Amino acid sequence: MTIYNGCDGSLNLIYKGLLVSSFALTKKKTFERYKYQGDYLILESMREKKNIKQIIYTLTYFCNMIYNRKKNKQPIRRSDHELFLSSFFGLMKLKIIDNDDDDGNGYLIMPRKKPPKFKTPILKN
């Protein structure tokens, strides 16, 4: 699994105890932007007159399909990782996945490790 690092670190999604996706955090791609994708997915589904049970079933089904592909070491397209991110945060918004109480599901934000400062030696005459 490749962990994508941006200038601000990385966002890693864990589903059923397995690291499924990783996304770079940058100035433009912030955690709030990623999290909003789940909210937007739910809002658009409700505008299309989907009921909440249909939305939960669809998001859970998609997350389980991506999880099974990851577990079986099958390739996953980057676009599917993006949809997984939206589905995952949509389930978190609906309180199906709880980052605090659920041990196997959640996200992990890893800040970028800063390199040590280089100290120039002081030359004395």
Is residue 114 in a domain?
no
Q: What is the 3-state secondary structure (H, E, C) of 37-96?
A: HHHHHHHHHHHCCCCHHHHHHHHHHHHHHHHHHHHCCCCCCHHHHHHHHHHHHHHHHCCC
Is residue 5 in a domain?
no
Is residue 22 in a domain?
no
Is residue 7 in a domain?
no
pTM (2 d.p.): 0.84
For residue 55, the enclosing domain spans 30-101
Is residue 48 in a domain?
yes
pLDDT means per 10 residues, the chain with 125 residues, are: 85 93 93 94 91 93 96 94 95 87 83 70 62
Is residue 18 in a domain?
no
The number of distinct structural domains making up the chain is 1
Is residue 118 in a domain?
no
